[in-house]
Structure 1
Amino acid sequence: MATESVAGKRVIVLFDDSRCIHSRHCTLDRPDVFVPGVEGQWIHPDNATAEEIAEIAHNCPSGAISYQTRDDSPGEAAPLVNVARVLENGPLALRAAITIDGQPAGFRLTLCRCGASRNKPFCDTSHAGAGFTASGEPATVESAPLAQRDGPLEIHPIPNGPLRIKGNLEVISGTGRTVNRMTEAWLCRCGHSGNKPFCDGTHKKVGFRSDQ
């Protein structure tokens, strides 16, 4: 499905169905803007202010919802701290100025770590059907504070292997505890590492395969 674009008087709302993980922040927080279970038009930007639309988008962990302003006001900015949040039995939720294999990917996305997604490297909620279990509270690794906490974050999905991430990154638990800080990381996406969320080479033993 192509990205859906709905223009309001003050802001344009963009919705990318291929990245949606149905976290439901949009339909629960503003059911007057994102109206669930209806035929036809379901996004109504003019039912909220531009600032409220921005808040809805910023709460969307997958980046499925984004927006463009229709005046000279600034749009979404890169976060001041690049983070990868480890979600319990679920994906990695990243916030940064992200590129994937050199292509801009926005400021928010969720990446599969169960190995079952049909939309790799993105999460498509297949972890639920696959019965994936993995703690959102991995052990803390001693690490020094980064000299810089923001900046571009490059993601390179290794074919049949892990996610290679280059750039300043703080891996945090689901409750916000700092797990590790680094400028390069290899993150598991086969679902079988014994050191989740980090790769330990198990993808080779289990024969993990990926198109990207």
Structure 2
Amino acid sequence: METAQGERIEIEFEARRCIHSRFCVTGAPQVFLANVKGPWIHPDAMPVERLVEVAHACPSGAIRYRRKDGAPEEPVPPVNLAGVREAGPYAFRGQLEIDGAPAGFRATLCRCGASTTKPFCDGSHSKIGFSATGEPPSGKTDMLPTRDGVLAIDPQPNGPLRVRGNLEIMSGTGRVVARVTSAYLCRCGGSGNKPFCDGTHSKIGFKSD
């Protein structure tokens, strides 16, 4: 974990979660300096409220912050969401617990099976030519009585992601795919019923903690 201190805010960067979506270096290029040697995060280089907005746009949660000026910290998302990215990862937003530990409010988790930093995405889907739609068909979409709360995500040994909690699964274009309180999501890349697990991980010998 890297930290950079500013007068009013501390920025944290967790490299293993970064998927290089580039919201930081394009939204705040004076703060996040790409391809430089030495310190590359300069929190005081732009107004803090704008910097907070850029941090919130980071889908992976690699960029987080701590306010030093008494202003509110990042708010808990009002609705737990999992976006299914075209040929890419799951993009979660919510009060996340991953493998039993608090994991912030944003995370991108591997669904191609090839990441070297599982359960997080590391961009391997591009390297292996992973192909999977971001527009799966809609299933059960009845409105949930509660849409927030803790969302527990537990990678099963050599198997799927077990998700427990209120969750709206969204397509890449924002369409509701399903609303669930419990689900098993494919992370081996082989399910014929993506984003849900269909047991293919056992047939193809998927291995992961």
Would you say the 8 A contact 1:82–1:169 is kept in 2?
yes
Alignment of 1:1-212 (within 5 A): 3-210=1-208, 212=209
Percent of aligned pairs sharing the same letter = 57
Structure 1: how far apart are the matches of 2:141 and 2:4? 44
Show CA shifts across 1:161-210 (max 9, x none): 00000000000001100000000010000000001111011001001000
Structure 1: how far apart are the matches of 2:99 and 2:20? 25
What displacement does 1:5 show? Answer: 0.4
Aligned residues: 209
What displacement does 1:37 show? Answer: 1.2
Tell me, what secondary structure is at the counterpart of 2:177? Answer: strand
Tell me, what secondary structure is at the counterpart of 1:127? Answer: helix
What displacement does 1:23 show? Answer: 0.3
Would you say the 8 A contact 2:94–2:106 is kept in 1?
yes
Q: Which runs of 5+ in 1 are unaligned?
A: none
Would you say the 8 A contact 1:193–1:202 is kept in 2?
yes
Show CA shifts across 1:36-87 (max 9, x none): 1111111110012221121111100000000000022110111000000000
TM-score (norm 1): 0.97
Structure 1: how far apart are the matches of 2:192 and 2:116? 23
Let me know the Cα RMSD of the aligned residues.
Answer: 0.7
Q: Which runs of 5+ in 2 are unaligned?
A: none
Q: Return 47-56 or 106-115, whichever deviates more.
A: 47-56
Would you say the 8 A contact 1:165–1:185 is kept in 2?
yes
Structure 2: how far apart are the matches of 1:101 and 1:43? 29
Would you say the 8 A contact 2:28–2:51 is kept in 1?
no
What displacement does 1:19 show? Answer: 0.4
Would you say the 8 A contact 1:19–1:122 is kept in 2?
yes
Structure 2: how far apart are the matches of 1:49 and 1:185? 41
Structure 1: how far apart are the matches of 2:50 and 2:141? 37
TM-score (norm 2): 0.98
Show CA shifts across 1:94-120 (max 9, x none): 000001122101100000000000111
What displacement does 1:142 show? Answer: 3.1
Structure 1 segments, 4+ long, off by >3 Å, are none
Would you say the 8 A contact 2:141–2:176 is kept in 1?
no
